[in-house]
Amino acid sequence: MFLKFLRLEIKSFFRGTSVGVNLAMKILRFIGILYFMACLAGGAFAVFFYVRDEMHQDPLKVVSKFLVIAWAADLIFKYIWQEMSTQNIKPFLTQNIPKNTLVNYMLVKTFLSALSWLNSLFFITFSIIAMFNGYSIVGILTWFIGISFLFYLNNFINIQFNDKETIAIIIGCVFAGVGALGYYNIVPVLSYSEKFIYSFYQTPYWIIIPIVLFFGLWRICFSYVRKEFYLDQGLEAKKQFGKTENIAFLNKYGVIGTFINNDIKMLRRNKVTKGILIGSFFFLFYGLLMFSSTIYKTPAMMMFMGLFVTGGFQFLFGQRVPSFDSSYYPLMMTLNVPYKEYLKAKWWLINIMTAASIIIALFYAYFGWELYITFFAAGIYNIGVNSQLTLWSGAYNKTQIDLNSKEKRIGQKNSFNLKSMLLLIPKMLLPMGVFALSKYFFGITAGVVSIAILGLVGFMLRERIFDIIVKQYKREKYSTLDAFKNKD
């Protein structure tokens, strides 16, 4: 029965109305997955031999020590991006198919997500290397099985509290508290992790703990989903009572203030947009990758990281304009809504968040003022140039976003557009190239000043650039309306 369900999903993919674009997006995702697979497999080699030859420690113990951090990060990523898809299963509820089979299929399908199995590639590669370097084959196999079941537990934990934000916040606070206790050596969290995970290798019968937990949570999740598995209950779109909110002081800024007011309320109310805010916060720490690889310390990559650190909200929110308004965009186009003010409101909101990111990123000064002023210059460029280019690329974004939907996707079919890809040249490659050349020939000051000047020039020319962007939005108006109206 499971194979029949998979065949039907494959048929639905190739019979869709946008097979070409779907296929293009699948190919791009496949390339991305191949990249991460190569990174994880290569990372396993790097970790094993670096720990053994350079640190002169037991690689298995070191990996076991830090797996608690990887486990917590895996749960966080799954909470943000992964959820059971119920749309494809609804038609089968009227068929002569046992409901238990459908529920089990939905649970099994969560393990097919790349977020579920990608990390296994690291563990498989690491385990094979360990077996070829003198470790016990039985011990390594039980170690691998034990940690695999522990990571797969996150699928069931995610199902249990994915739609319960209060519980998610409590768990997040617990993670933060445990992390603080471990960081300040109040509680040796990493030592406990090492002892527990390494026991799967030393004492193989300890794997009974994650196995029992896995099947126990499977049973709990099965009962939970089975109880809610009705069109008029768990599978029904959630209905919420609306409440009136108003940020009064924004009203004095006219139409622009009204649009900003609406966007702020949208960001506060919807789970999809809350995910944007969470993702923007994580972007602030992207610069920490600099200390894990020498390639990130090159001038071009320093600027690349600065653009991401200060522009997380810009890239996650700005490039989805007007997709966040797709549900009422056709109605808005029948009203006397000034396009320029509509886009300017988005622009101001993006730049306010970018400015806040620049201030928060001040902690990078701890690692050197040269790093921070590079990020500061990148923030100026984001405000003056990239904020407008990001809105420009939004004119070609025809992706519908249902703010009431619980489904989470990273990229959708209509978000792929060649013109949007070409705009990456002035958004990313231009500042990286200018900064690298200026710093190489004239020093860090010249590099920072050159990027800041580009940002200031873009800011001063914003009115003319907005006129060009408005014309492009009007040119794409009807194709955008057609995409937002077409639910297929």
Neighbouring residues of 34: CB distance < 8 A, sequence distance ≥ 6: none
For the ranges 49-58, 275-284, 363-372, the maximum mean pLDDT occurs at: 49-58
Residue predicted with more confidence, 144 or 180? 144
Radius of gyration of the chain from Cα atoms?
25
Q: Read off the pLDDT of each residue in 454-471 and give the average, rounded to a whole number.
A: 89
> How many other β-carbons are positioned within 10 Å of the β-carbon of residue 472?
17
Kindly report, residue by residue over 233-250, the tens digit of the pLDDT: 544 544 444 444 556 566
Q: Looking at residue 237, what is its pLDDT?
A: 47
Neighbouring residues of 355: CB distance < 8 A, sequence distance ≥ 6: 379, 383
What is the C-alpha separation between 316 and 277, in angstroms, rounded? 9
Q: Picking from 29-38, 300-309, 384-393, 420-429, which range would have the lowest pLDDT averaged per residue?
A: 420-429
Average pLDDT, the chain: 79
Residue 315, judged by CB atoms within 10 A of its CB (0-12, 13-18, 19+), counts as buried
pLDDT(415) > 70: no
Q: Taking each helix axis from N to C terminus, what angle separates 271-283 and 254-269, rounded to the nearest 10 degrees?
A: 90
pLDDT(402) > 60: yes
For residue 236, what is the DSSP state? S
Question: Which of these, 211, 189, 190, lies nearest to 200 by C-alpha position?
Answer: 211
Q: Picking from 157-171, 276-290, 388-402, 412-426, which range would have the lowest pLDDT averaged per residue?
A: 412-426
pLDDT(411) > 50: no
Q: Picking from 14-18, 34-38, 298-302, 338-342, which range would have the lowest pLDDT averaged per residue?
A: 14-18
Measured CA distances, 80 to 67, 76, 107, 407 (Å) = 20, 6, 18, 10
Omega into 204 within 30° of 0, i.e. cis? no
Question: From the centroid of its chain, how far is CA 141?
Answer: 32
Residue 426 structure tokens: 């002035």
Q: Looking at residue 414, what is its pLDDT?
A: 41
pLDDT(416) > 50: no
Q: Read off the pLDDT of each residue in 252-264 and give the average, rounded to a whole number.
A: 76
Q: Looking at residue 192, what is its pLDDT?
A: 92
Q: Looking at residue 315, what is its pLDDT?
A: 83
Neighbouring residues of 255: CB distance < 8 A, sequence distance ≥ 6: 338, 341, 342, 345
pLDDT(20) > 50: no
